């Protein structure tokens, strides 16, 4: 079953021609009208005329998260703010967050992408979809919400938290599909078991769209066997729009709609373009984005591209499940966290030294992040509650800045490891 | 005159993990610091070692030089009768004087048993103790 068979099953050659035309006009208009990208191309010594075929994309300069931060909030937008109908915000590496804007067409493409994706895993207007991603500045909740509404499914916008109530609603409303992070679904299963609820017996759940954090085939097997459902990988980031791409029912990679995105995989060191089947860092060009164009964006996710047509009949290239990152970004309960952000918060707190360690663990299927920081001798007080107040204040600052709950452990001055240059400050004990 | 009744206690920040106390104790040993009394308070993820040393000024200086997080805190030491009701007497005096006891610990020294008290206003506490006819120890009594 297809949502948009014309677009999804377009013959490969036609799709490539279409991608080339989109790329060419994108580059021409950016060179003409977008100061940021014009300068970037000038510096790289590339002109729109140099793009003569799709593969010439490799001549174009890369965009990075640093570019997004440096041009915060809207300097990279190609449209005036009055045309923007939605903003979303995600974490930046430090200082400024990443802001993305959407006009009506951008929202429409994003929604279309998810309508195709949901249809490709067999979700229809007969389904009731529980969206247990966060709603708000995070793209997960609203993205899935609009996608599910587009295909006519009933949407339960339950967002995150209050797991018992989520399980009750799932039973009461005969929810058939859930969209959330894989670790949250495992947590839900644990909570359900404590409530005496058996997913197979007491719910009508049959499918899950799981993403926003790394997971593995092992976790898939655990979820599917434990809950008696089919679990599908979903991929996207706020820079692209939000969650956009999923596996189809064949489950042989994620379909990256060719009319919306052109993907390359490059060597993380040399940035040389790698061929299909070779593992590297994904670089993505969004072909239809209007408000906030993305050309050769280094998304820092490691994957492999498959060019062959899928058995499902869809012709767009697919990527393998994301196998890692080329930077130090952590994903905590679906939220992106950079160690540099943790450092930023600590640096503004005079009660602790600049030395720190981040420990990430999984407790009862949920990510738990602990930050160890050294108390400054001047800040120490004999009163235990004063020291606890320092810990609480840093925890609250972290929560405000990172959007995720952090446990702070205060340590003796000098007891954390010192590094010269790039330190190993993160211990990730999670097992995927 | 109440000043002479204040005892300087060392308060030391300690990681709450195996081996932390040993490493602090080793520094105390290496610095030749003798403790007369001590206790350990535990909170979420850290501890505070509170100790009475022979020469608190000197001990504090040595510990700071070893990067130990240490503060001096004023406490009072009250002689206590070695019999039922001894603690009651002291606690009752503090209660009557509306002085809140933050923490307390006991030891038996050269001059018999006594209790170290940390209160909001140690000088007022020392006065109250004396008014009730009991004795506060000075640094040299310990």
- Of the pLDDT bands very low, low, confident and very high (cuts 50, 70, 90), residue A340 is confident
Judge whether residue A359 has pLDDT over 90: yes
Q: Look at residue A225 in the predicted model and tell me its pLDDT.
A: 94
Is the bond preceding A73 in cis, omega lying within 30 degrees of 0? Answer: yes
Nearest-CB residue to A412 (from B9, B43, B69):
B69
B15 inside 8 A of chain A by CB: yes
A22 vs B120, which has greater pLDDT? A22
Nearest-CB residue to B13 (from A375, A391, A409):
A375
| Contact indicator for B104, B9 with CB cutoff of 8 Å | no
| Contact indicator for A312, A121 with CB cutoff of 8 Å | no
Please give the average per-residue pLDDT across A110-121, as a whole number: 98
Q: Look at residue B3 in the predicted model and tell me its pLDDT.
A: 60
Query: What would the pLDDT profile of B12-38 be if each residue is shown by its tens digit?
Result: 999 999 999 999 999 999 999 999 999
Q: Look at residue A95 in the predicted model and tell me its pLDDT.
A: 67
Rounded Cα gap, residues B37 and B34, in angstroms: 9
Rounded Cα gap, residues A10 and B135, in angstroms: 96
Please give the average per-residue pLDDT across B116-128, as a whole number: 94
- Of the pLDDT bands very low, low, confident and very high (cuts 50, 70, 90), residue A421 is low
Token pair of A286 as six digits: 């969004």
Q: How far is A407 from chain B (nearest CA, A)?
A: 10
Please give the average per-residue pLDDT across B73-98, as a whole number: 95
Chain B nearest-CA residue for A390: B44
B13 inside 8 A of chain A by CB: yes
Q: Look at residue A301 in the predicted model and tell me its pLDDT.
A: 94
Contact residues on chain A for B11, CB-CB shorter than 8 A: 380-382
Q: How far is A355 from chain B (nearest CA, A)?
A: 15
Q: What does each C-alpha distance from A218 to A103, A222, A431 come to in angstroms?
A: 39, 6, 10
Is B46 in contact with A380 (Cβ distance < 8 A)?
no
A334 vs A174, which has greater pLDDT? A174
DSSP code string of B39-69? EEEEETTEEEEEEEESSHHHHHHHHHHTT--
Rounded Cα gap, residues A63 and A39, in angstroms: 12
The answer for residues whose C-beta is within 8 angstroms of residue B28's C-beta and 6 or more apart is B35, B63
DSSP class of A50: G
pTM score of the predicted model: 0.80
pLDDT, chain A, mean: 94
Judge whether residue B5 has pLDDT over 90: no
Please give the average per-residue pLDDT across A284-291, as a whole number: 97
DSSP class of A310: P
Rounded Cα gap, residues A180 and A160, in angstroms: 8
- Of the pLDDT bands very low, low, confident and very high (cuts 50, 70, 90), residue B1 is very low
Is A412 in contact with B45 (Cβ distance < 8 A)?
no
- Of the pLDDT bands very low, low, confident and very high (cuts 50, 70, 90), residue B2 is very low
Phi, psi of A102 (to 5 degrees): -135, 135
| Contact indicator for A243, A302 with CB cutoff of 8 Å | no
A168 inside 8 A of chain B by CB: no
B41 inside 8 A of chain A by CB: yes
| Contact indicator for A377, B64 with CB cutoff of 8 Å | yes
Judge whether residue A261 has pLDDT over 80: yes
**Share of residues in chain A with pLDDT > 70 (%):** 99
Chain A nearest-CA residue for B9: A382
Token pair of B132 as six digits: 């009730």
Which candidate, B80, B122, B78, B76, places its Cα nearest to that of B97? B122
| Contact indicator for A122, A249 with CB cutoff of 8 Å | yes
Please give the average per-residue pLDDT across B1-21, as a whole number: 86
Q: Look at residue A420 in the predicted model and tell me its pLDDT.
A: 66
Look at the block and give the residue holding tokens 């009508």.
A204
Please give the average per-residue pLDDT across B122-140, as a whole number: 93
Query: What would the pLDDT profile of A173-187 be if each residue is shown by its tens digit?
Result: 999 999 999 989 988
Nearest-CB residue to B48 (from A377, A384, A413):
A384
B101 inside 8 A of chain A by CB: no
Query: What would the pLDDT profile of A211-250 be if each residue is shown by its tens digit?
Result: 998 888 888 998 999 999 999 999 999 999 999 999 999 9
Please give the average per-residue pLDDT across A22-28, as a whole number: 97
Rounded Cα gap, residues A206 and A108, in angstroms: 27
Mutate which of A412, A413, A414 to disrupt the B interface (most B C-beta within 10 Å)?
Answer: A412
End-to-end C-alpha distance for chain B, whole angstroms: 18
């Amino acid at each position: 079953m297809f949502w948009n068979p014309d677009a999804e099953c377009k013959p490969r050659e036609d799709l490539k021609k279409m991608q080339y035309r989109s790329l060419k006009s994108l580059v021409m208009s950016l060179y003409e009208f977008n100061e940021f990208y014009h300068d970037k191309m000038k510096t790289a010594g590339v002109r729109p005329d140099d793009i003569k075929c799709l593969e010439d994309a490799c001549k174009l300069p890369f965009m990075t998260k640093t570019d997004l931060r440096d041009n915060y909030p809207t300097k990279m937008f190609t449209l005036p703010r009055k045309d923007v109908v939605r903003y979303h915000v995600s974490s930046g590496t430090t200082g400024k967050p990443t802001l993305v804007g959407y006009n009506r067409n951008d929202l429409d493409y994003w929604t279309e992408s998810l309508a195709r994706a949901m249809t490709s895993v067999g979700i229809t207007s007969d389904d009731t979809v529980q969206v247990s991603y966060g709603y708000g500045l995070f793209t997960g909740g609203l993205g899935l919400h609009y996608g599910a509404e587009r295909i006519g499914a009933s949407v339960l916008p339950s967002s995150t938290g209050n797991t018992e109530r989520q399980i009750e609603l799932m039973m009461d409303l005969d929810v058939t599909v859930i969209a959330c992070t894989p670790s949250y679904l495992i947590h839900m299963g644990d909570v359900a078991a404590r409530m005496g609820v058996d997913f197979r017996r007491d719910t009508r759940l049959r499918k899950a769209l799981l993403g926003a954090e790394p997971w593995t085939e092992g976790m898939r097997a655990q979820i599917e066997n434990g809950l008696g459902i089919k679990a599908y990988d979903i991929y996207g980031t706020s820079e692209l729009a939000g969650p956009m791409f999923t596996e189809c029912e064949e489950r042989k990679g994620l379909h990256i709609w060719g009319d919306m995105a052109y993907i390359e995989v490059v060597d993380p060191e040399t940035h040389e373009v790698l061929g299909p089947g070779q593992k590297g860092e994904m670089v993505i060009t969004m072909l239809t984005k209007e408000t906030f164009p993305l050309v050769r964006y280094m998304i820092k996710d490691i994957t492999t591209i498959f060019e062959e047509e899928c058995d499902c009949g869809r012709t767009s290239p697919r990527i393998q499940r994301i196998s890692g990152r080329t930077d130090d970004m952590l994903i905590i309960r679906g939220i992106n966290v950079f160690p540099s952000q943790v450092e930023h918060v600590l640096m503004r707190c005079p009660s602790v030294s600049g030395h720190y360690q981040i420990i990430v663990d999984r407790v009862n299927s949920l990510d738990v992040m602990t930050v160890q920081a050294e108390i400054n001798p001047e800040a120490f007080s004999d009163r235990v509650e004063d020291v606890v107040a320092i810990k609480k204040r840093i925890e609250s600052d972290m929560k405000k800045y990172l959007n995720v709950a952090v446990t702070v452990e205060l340590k003796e001055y000098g007891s954390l490891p010192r590094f010269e240059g790039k330190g190993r400050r993160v211990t990730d004990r999670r097992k995927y | 005159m109440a000043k002479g009744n204040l005892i300087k206690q060392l308060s030391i920040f300690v990681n709450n993990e195996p081996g932390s106390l040993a490493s602090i104790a080793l520094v105390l040993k290496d610095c030749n610091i003798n403790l007369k009394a001590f206790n350990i308070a535990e909170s979420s993820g850290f501890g505070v070692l509170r100790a009475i040393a022979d020469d608190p000024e000197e001990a504090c200086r040595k510990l700071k030089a070893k990067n130990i997080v240490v503060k001096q805190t004023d406490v009072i030491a009250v002689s206590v009768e070695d019999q039922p009701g001894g603690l009651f007497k002291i606690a009752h005096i503090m209660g009557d004087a509306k002085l809140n006891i933050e923490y307390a610990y006991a030891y038996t020294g050269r001059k018999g048993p006594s209790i170290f008290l940390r209160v909001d206003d140690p000088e007022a506490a020392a006065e109250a103790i004396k008014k009730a006819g009991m004795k506060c120890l000075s640094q040299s009594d310990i």
